[in-house]
Amino acid sequence: MAMTDGLAEISTGPASVLGVRHLEKSFGGLKAINDVSFDVAPESVTAMIGPNGAGKTTVFNLLTNILAKDAGQVWFLGRDLAGMSAVKIASLGLIRTFQAAREFPGMTAIENVMVGGHRLASHSPAREMLWLSAARNEERRILRRAGEMLELVGLAAFRDTHATELPMGAQKLLEVVRALMAQPKLLCLDEPAAGLNDTETAELANLLRAIRALGIPVLLVEHNMSLVMNVADEVVVIDSGAIIARGTPAEIQKDSRVIEAYLGRERDGAS
Q: What is the pTM of this model?
A: 0.81
Calculate ∠ Cα 126-131-137, nearest 5°. Answer: 115
SS3 content of the chain, % helix, strand, coil (to 5): 45, 20, 35
Strand ranges in the chain using DSSP code E only, listed in sequence order: 18-27, 30-40, 45-49, 71-76, 79-80, 94-96, 186-190, 218-221, 234-239, 242-247
Distance CA(107)–CA(116), nearest Å, equals: 13
Q: What is the pLDDT of residue 258?
A: 86
For 101-156, the pLDDT digits (tens) are 667 778 899 998 888 876 554 444 555 555 566 667 777 888 888 888 888 788 89
Task: Enter the DSSP assignment of 174.
Answer: H
Q: What is the pLDDT of residue 33?
A: 96
Closest CA to 217 of 242, 185, 257: 185
Q: What is the pLDDT of residue 119?
A: 58
Residues of the chain scoring pLDDT < 70: 1-14, 99-102, 118-135, 262-271
CATH number corresponding to 18-102+184-270: 3.40.50.300
In degrees and rounded to multiples of 5, residue 23 shows phi and psi of -70, 135
From first CA to last CA, the distance across the chain in angstroms is 33
Q: What is the pLDDT of residue 36?
A: 96
**Domain residue spans in the chain?**
18-102+184-270, 104-165
Q: What is the pLDDT of residue 213?
A: 92
- Torsion sign, CA atoms 49, 163, 87, 209: positive
Identify any residues that bridge with 74 across adjacent strands, giving them in sequence order: 20
Question: Is the distance from CB of 220 to CB of 189 less than 8 angstroms?
Answer: yes
